[in-house]
Amino acid sequence: MKIIKTLLVIFIVSFISIFLTCGKQQTAFEATNIIMGTIVSQRIYGDNSNAAATEATEKIRSLEGRLSFFKPESEISRLNSSAGRTKIKLSPDTFFILSKSIEYSHLSGGMFNIMVGPLVKRWKVTGDNPVIPSPSEVRSLVALINYRDLILNKNELTARLSKKGQKVDLGGIAKGFAADEVLKIYRKHGIKSAIIDIGGNVSVLGYKPDGSPWAIGIQDPSKKRGNYICSIMLNNKSLSTSGAYERFFEKDGKVYHHIIDPTTGYPSKSDLQSVTIIGESSVDTDALSTATFILGLEKGLSLIKKTECEAVFITVDNKIHATEKLKNMIDCDASIEFHSKKK
Ligand code: FAD
Ligand code: MG
């Protein structure tokens, strides 16, 4: 709830601004809300922007109602509380995200693993009273983490967790899915230019009204929120960032963050401070940013080479590495080492 308190300080605001381009006025509708425990901000240009923003906000809230780990009545909570007992009927959206999650577990050698739920619940990293579990407790919870124990039935649209105590947590992928759904809503309303940011999962539709690409900042992990180390020029793309610098707690001089290495049960330790993934779809960039953050630079790059996505890695020694295709799209305060995706 620590994050909610911080976020509540921010005014929940919806307003109309005017954008002047080529002598013609373009109306931008902007909306900022707190959903899924994070800030959701939208900026939409053109006719129907108000209606598109309203429908998008409703969609994200409806997804939160079904996907939340925190709401006891959500489909995910019902699946978790039925672990080791019964299967649960799911909506197509929830079924799709669970299927995608398993895909990314395979692709990342089990590092992206939504079965980390029991550990997320125990550590409570983002809560008011985080806990450092004892080593034996961590070991017993790690024993519950096996993505093969999430049994999906496509014909029935059902899911089942094999063992009592198992829990899935979609914190590493569901916001990305929501951003993809929002772009579908914008397109349905005939919107040609818009940007949505769901807690670091940014998707842009088209170009800005003046015809230029959107400039998306990458947070400098060692500075206060809003200080950017790089900016990337994008159109019709999604970008997701995962890092250790926003959701963490400190105890006896040690930092414990929210991304769990499923093999150890502890916050992951790699040579990275943050990873940003750029791709066509936010559900993919969200899952991949979490997975590569755990894997570290070398293995993370190998994973990205198997995908259509591009990446920016910021290492613990403040070096910036990026995939070669970003060369003409990225501008950073420090030098960048580019990596070819060719094998
Ligand atoms: P990402 O890197 O994208 O994801 C990290 C998150 O993924 C972790 O916080 C954890 O949840 C999960 N995770 C950890 N390790 C792994 C792993 N190895 N593999 C896969 N996943 C892993 N927070 C609140 O405080 N209150 C709320 O009410 C609340 N509601 C939410 C509802 C929904 C539907 C969702 C998706 C999230 C909600 N959150 C809530 C969670 C909060 O927004 C998360 O902290 C956030 O999802 C973390 O995202 P990130 O982009 O910072 O990091
Ligand atoms: Mg993620």
| Tens-digit pLDDT profile for residues 212-232 | 999 999 999 989 989 999 999
Is the beta carbon of 67 within 6 A of some atom in ligand 1? Answer: yes
* Closest ligand to the CA of 175: 1
Lowest mean pLDDT among 85-99, 124-138, 219-233, 325-339: 124-138
Ligand 1: which of 80, 126, 168 to mutate, most ligand atoms within 8 Å of CB? 126
What is the helix (H) or strand (E) element at residue 176, kind and residue range?
Answer: helix 174-188
Q: Are 312 and 275 in contact (CB under 8 A)?
A: yes
Average pLDDT over residues 24-40: 89
- Domains within the chain, CATH numbers bracketed: 18-57+176-339 (3.10.520.10), 65-161 (1.10.3980.10)
Average pLDDT over residues 90-113: 98
Backbone angles phi, psi at 188, to 5 degrees: -60, -35
Backbone angles phi, psi at 297, to 5 degrees: -60, -55
Distance 253 CA to ligand 2 centre (A): 26
Q: Which atom of ligand 1 is nearest to the CA of 286?
A: 3
Q: Report d(CA 211, CA 270) in Å as an integer.
A: 40
Q: Is 303 exposed, middle or buried (0-12, 13-18, 19+ CB in 10 A)?
A: buried
Distance 10 CA to ligand 1 centre (A): 20
Distance 287 CA to ligand 2 centre (A): 5
Closest CA to 132 of 145, 122, 143, 147: 122
Please give the pLDDT value at position 5: 40
At residue 10, does pLDDT exceed 50?
A: no
Is the beta carbon of 3 within 6 A of some atom in ligand 1? Answer: yes
At residue 37, does pLDDT exceed 90?
A: yes
Q: Are 18 and 7 in contact (CB under 8 A)?
A: no
At residue 32, does pLDDT exceed 90?
A: yes
Average pLDDT over residues 228-245: 96
Please give the pLDDT value at position 26: 72
Is the beta carbon of 169 within 6 A of some atom in ligand 1? Answer: yes
Please give the pLDDT value at position 25: 56
8 band by pLDDT with thresholds 50, 70 and 90: very low
Is the beta carbon of 200 within 6 A of some atom in ligand 1? Answer: yes
Q: Which atom of ligand 1 is nearest to the CA of 111?
A: 18
Sign of CA dihedral 271, 276, 280, 281: positive
Please give the pLDDT value at position 126: 83
Protein residue whose Cα sits closest to atom 21 of ligand 1: 172
At residue 149, does pLDDT exceed 90?
A: yes
Is the beta carbon of 208 within 6 A of some atom in ligand 1? Answer: no
Is the beta carbon of 241 within 6 A of some atom in ligand 1? Answer: no
At residue 304, does pLDDT exceed 90?
A: yes
